[in-house]
């Protein structure tokens, strides 16, 4: 027999102590065993130890909660995708067997059973799931590495908008979080909006670009501390169409889900359910549902955040203002979803989270897409995704007017967004900016001036950095994040990225 089992736990669920004892005797020399005497006890155990359980051996006919009900709970809680279930039962009725398989049972063994057959089927099932999990992790890692630039860049661009607009650095992260919670609540209530579960993370990413059009709004209006004049407010309102225009110019298929959702959100997230929003005066469900969801998320976070023109409202104040229609009218179904998520919303938004962290669920969705597409091999799919992300990166890198930079520690190259090349003598790239004597000879890069300091300020535990540097008569504020490889024996920094923004004139000016 293959020596498998050192790190595998099996949960045996049977109301007969004798049956549990026999199965434990067969398997205990190779596997760690846990037992449950009925379905309810099994469900309670799985809720607390799901990540520890490698396989469930399940009887069908039990008091309190039967085996089929256990399978239903495992489906509802998304456990069945990660924990294989072998049913061992004397119930040989075709309808029971069919129902068990439909609910996700991996195998079915009828009593009386042979001990060697039980052992072999348990071993083979665990080996199969272990190999599949390793394959998913491998593909997930590869796809994550290829998709990271796109997610990073979307987040950086959204933070450029936040910075110009005087918004907190957590605004887009909060919009992501609220959007995800609202969408999940909505999908649990209705299928009327035809949003695939796999599109939820795409919509959350697209939500980061909801205010991309504010790049086109004069900063003096964006950051005006007092009340806007009617003329200034009309200019602010143009950011919806400006954002749609920017996204419409992206040189990719308009059927690309990220582009399609980003366009809908940017253009229509200020529409209102009663038709009194802008820019097109859409009403009801003529407003795309992604834009409706982000609209509520944006209003809630705007109310609870401090801005240059107002103090932050409390969680309860913000909810009451939305309920009372002080911020416009929203879809009643989404209002119900907001009430559902409200108790946990304040706590969730208070948690610190990495801006570019991809959740395991999102990664598994991508991996499953690869495995479930019979017309596209994983290698071809990965290459296609890589090429798409490169094109997206190229487009934003070449068209942003802000100072966006990236330092690759492996190649020791510091590169700048194309239109920020005036900050680097002779191009948009600095090679080996940390070499001895570099700064003595060439004070030509605001980031190079502070790069060495950045590396001393950050670590694998504290990845964010902020600094100020004076360059050519102006004060620049620099913010960003370091990226680390945690798979080495000691974490190693692989790159850093961020942006620089002139905050105070002290002499020279730039156009």
Digit-coded pLDDT (tens) for 327-367: 999 999 999 999 999 988 877 776 533 333 333 344 344 44
Given the candidates 3.40.640.10, 3.30.450.20, 3.50.50.60, 3.40.50.300, the CATH classification of the domain at 401-505 is 3.30.450.20
Residue 84, pLDDT > 80, answer yes
Q: How confident is the model at residue 467 (pLDDT cuts 50, 70, 90)?
A: confident
Question: What is the token pair recorded at 206?
Answer: 């697209």
- What's the rounded mean pLDDT across residues 110-131? 82
Residue 148, pLDDT > 60, answer no
Q: What is the pLDDT of residues 15-30, one digit of tens each?
A: 888 888 888 888 888 8
Q: How confident is the model at residue 55 (pLDDT cuts 50, 70, 90)?
A: very high
User: Which pTM does this prediction carry?
Assistant: 0.44
Most confident of 110-124, 165-179, 245-259: 110-124
Taking alpha carbons only, the member of 138, 67, 75 closest to residue 109 is 67
- What's the rounded mean pLDDT across residues 381-406? 59
The CATH number assigned to the domain with range 9-113 reads 3.40.50.2300
Residues 6+ positions from 508 with CB-CB distance below 8 Å: 472, 473, 474
166 vs 500 pLDDT, higher one:
500
Longest dimension (CA), the chain: 89
- d(CA 180, CA 200) in angstroms, rounded, equals 7
pLDDT for the residue numbered 308: 61
The SS3 of residue 404 is: strand
The SS3 of residue 401 is: coil
pLDDT for the residue numbered 311: 79
The SS3 of residue 293 is: helix
Share of the chain above pLDDT 70, in %: 72
Residue 469, pLDDT > 80, answer no
Q: How confident is the model at residue 392 (pLDDT cuts 50, 70, 90)?
A: low
pLDDT for the residue numbered 174: 84
Q: Determine what percent of the chain falls in helix, strand and coil, rounding each to the nearest 5.
A: 50, 15, 35
- What's the rounded mean pLDDT across residues 426-442? 61
Residues 6+ positions from 259 with CB-CB distance below 8 Å: 247, 250, 252, 253
Question: What is the token pair recorded at 75?
Answer: 């489906």
Contact status, residue 445 vs residue 433, Cβ threshold 8 Å: yes
Distance between start and end Cα atoms, the chain: 74
Residue 369, pLDDT > 80, answer no
Q: Is the peptide bond before 170 cis (omega within 30 degrees of 0)?
A: no
pLDDT for the residue numbered 142: 55
351 burial (CB, 10 Å; 0-12 / 13-18 / 19+) is exposed
pLDDT for the residue numbered 381: 40
The CATH number assigned to the domain with range 146-392 reads 1.10.3210.10
DSSP letter at 271?
-
57 vs 479 pLDDT, higher one:
57
Contact status, residue 428 vs residue 421, Cβ threshold 8 Å: yes
- d(CA 308, CA 163) in angstroms, rounded, equals 12
Q: What is the pLDDT of residues 286-297, one digit of tens each?
A: 999 999 999 999
Domains of the chain, residue spans: 9-113, 146-392, 401-505
Residue 416, pLDDT > 80, answer no
Domains 9-113 and 401-505 share a fold: no
Q: What is the pLDDT of residues 449-464, one digit of tens each?
A: 677 777 777 887 777 7
95 burial (CB, 10 Å; 0-12 / 13-18 / 19+) is exposed
Q: What is the pLDDT of residues 101-117, one digit of tens each?
A: 989 898 888 877 777 88
């Amino acid at each position: 027999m293959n020596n498998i089992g050192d790190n595998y736990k099996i949960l045996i669920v049977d109301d007969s102590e004798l049956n549990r004892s026999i199965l434990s005797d067969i398997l205990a020399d190779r596997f760690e065993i846990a037992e449950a005497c009925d379905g309810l006890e099994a469900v309670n155990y799985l809720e607390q130890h799901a990540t520890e359980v490698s396989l469930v051996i399940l009887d069908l006919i039990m008091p309190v909660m039967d085996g089929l009900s256990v399978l239903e709970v495992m489906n509802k809680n998304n456990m069945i995708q990660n924990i294989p279930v072998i049913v061992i039962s004397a119930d040989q009725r075709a309808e029971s067997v069919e129902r068990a398989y439909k609910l996700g049972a991996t195998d079915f063994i009828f009593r009386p059973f042979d001990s060697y057959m039980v052992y072999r089927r348990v071993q083979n099932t665990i080996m199969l799931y272990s190999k599949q999990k390793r394959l998913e992790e491998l593909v997930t890692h590869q796809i994550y590495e290829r998709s990271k630039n796109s997610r990073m860049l979307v987040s950086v661009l959204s933070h450029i908008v936040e910075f110009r607009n005087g918004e907190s650095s957590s605004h887009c992260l909060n919009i992501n979080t609220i959007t995800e919670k609202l969408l999940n609540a909505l999908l649990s209530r209705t299928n009327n909006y035809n949003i695939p579960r796999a599109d939820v993370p795409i919509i959350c990413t697209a939500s980061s670009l909801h205010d991309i059009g504010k790049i086109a709004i004069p900063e003096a209006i964006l950051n005006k501390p007092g009340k806007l004049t009617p003329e200034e407010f009309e200019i602010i309102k143009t950011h919806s169409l400006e954002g749609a225009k920017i996204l419409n110019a992206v040189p990719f298929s308009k059927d690309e889900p990220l582009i399609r959702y980003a366009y809908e959100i940017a253009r229509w997230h200020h529409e209102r359910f009663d038709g009194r929003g802008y820019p097109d005066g859409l009403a009801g469900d003529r407003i795309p549902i992604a834009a409706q969801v982000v609209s509520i998320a944006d209003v809630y976070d705007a109310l609870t955040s401090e801005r240059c023109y107002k103090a932050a409202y409390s969680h309860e104040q913000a909810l009451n203002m939305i309920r009372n229609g002080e911020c416009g009218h929203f879809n009643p179904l989404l209002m119900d979803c907001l009430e559902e998520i409200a108790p946990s919303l304040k706590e969730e938004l208070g948690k610190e989270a990495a801006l570019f962290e991809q959740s395991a669920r999102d990664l598994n969705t991508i991996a499953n897409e690869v495995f479930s597409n019979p017309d596209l091999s994983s290698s071809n799919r990965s290459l296609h995704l890589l090429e798409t992300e490169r094109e997206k990166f190229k487009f934003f890198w070449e068209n942003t007017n802000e100072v966006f930079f990236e330092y690759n520690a492996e190649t020791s190259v510091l590169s700048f967004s194309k239109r920020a090349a005036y900050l680097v003598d002779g191009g948009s790239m600095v090679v080996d900016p940390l070499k001895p004597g570099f700064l003595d000879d060439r004070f030509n890069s605001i980031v190079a001036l502070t790069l060495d300091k950045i590396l001393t300020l950050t670590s694998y535990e504290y990845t964010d950095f902020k600094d100020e540097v004076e360059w050519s008569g102006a004060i620049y504020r620099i913010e960003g994040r370091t990226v680390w490889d945690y798979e080495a024996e000691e974490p190693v920094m692989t790159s850093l990225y961020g942006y620089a923004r002139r905050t105070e004139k002290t002499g020279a000016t730039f156009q």
